[in-house]
Amino acid sequence: MSKTGVAVLGIFVVDLAFRAGNMPAIGETIAGSGFAMGPGGKGSNQAVAAARAGADVTFISRIGRDAFGDLAIKTWETEGIKPRVARTADAPTGAAFIYVHETRGDNAIIVVSGAADGLSPDDVDAAAEAIRSSRVFVTQLEQPVAAAQRGLEIARAAGSLTVFNPAPAATFDDGLFALCDYVVPNETEAEALTGIAVGDLAGARRAGDALLAKGAGTALITLGERGALFHAPNRSLHVPPFAAGNVVETAGAGDAFVGGFAAALAGGADPLEAARFGSATAGISVTRAGTAPAMPRRAEIETLLMG
């Protein structure tokens, strides 16, 4: 079977983003300075990032039969993403509250998965052919762990490269790591998975060793403004960040990294070069407001890499 493109299993939610100078305390009401509504969800964001970075993308999920679900379909049509998505009237399409600090761009997020919380191994089996034919398979933990595991099992059995973004941090059996060619946590998630603080590169390397010991093929730990650590059994290298302008908003940066990384892998890039591509993708995304709309196009990423 000829393998091409990226298959992403995850969730779609509508992001409701509020900008303000601080988070309100319990019982407090404050005035915000901005509001935006648009497509989100880690899986869908990663699919958009990969598609804009030049990959042929299929997205696997569940959504509701409602206006938010209609927005999901429109988003994927606009981005050229092929949906393998079940629609249900029994649960709403998911939504997320996002607080964004009005000057620093720091964020805090509450996600309700909605219909995607019902994603099951059976749903994944129904989309198995899309996973088997992909060069790269990506999943996260906003949908149930059992669905993520089934996707990784199908991809691994078919010889597809597997990318696991264990976000948000959740409890799962360590056996899942053996299905992962690349596990891509941020600093907080790496510490939650290993118990090792990731305050610097040395800490990231110790956490990377622990993730490899659990069975992951390569640990790719994102470090925010410090870039990322590519930590494999035969090489451990710092992937520097790419400065593309003033930081406006950090929400979605991790998804940009994962989507860009997956797209580069699907295009045949060396894994370390794919990590640099992901870092450049994230570097551009933080200079723009929004989540999925912030994802850059391939030409922009290549220009930053060449600069």
Q: Give the tens place of pLDDT for each residue, 147-161.
A: 999 999 999 999 999
Residue 272 near residue 220, CB atoms below 8 Å: no
User: How do residues 137-187 score in pLDDT, each as one tens digit?
Assistant: 999 999 999 999 999 999 999 999 999 999 988 889 999 999 999 999 999
Tell me what pLDDT residue 267 has: 97
CA distance 15 to 294: 13
- Catalytic site includes residue 255: yes
Tell me what pLDDT residue 170 has: 87
User: How do residues 40-58 score in pLDDT, each as one tens digit?
Assistant: 999 999 999 999 999 999 9
pLDDT of residue 292 exceeding 70, the answer is: no
Where residue 213 falls among pLDDT bands split at 50, 70, 90? very high
Q: Give the pLDDT mean for 250-256.
A: 86
Q: Give the pLDDT mean for 17-26.
A: 93
User: How do residues 261-275 score in pLDDT, each as one tens digit?
Assistant: 999 999 999 999 999
User: How do residues 71-123 score in pLDDT, each as one tens digit?
Assistant: 999 999 999 999 999 999 999 999 999 898 988 878 888 889 999 999 999 99
274 class by beta-carbon count within 10 Å (0-12 exposed, 13-18 middle, 19+ buried): buried
Tell me what pLDDT residue 197 has: 96
Per the residue annotation, which of 66, 123, 181, 255 is the catalytic one? 255
Q: Give the pLDDT mean for 240-245.
A: 86
Sign of torsion over alpha carbons 107, 37, 12, 283? negative
pLDDT of residue 3 exceeding 80, the answer is: yes
Tell me what pLDDT residue 194 has: 96
Give me the chain's average pLDDT, please: 94
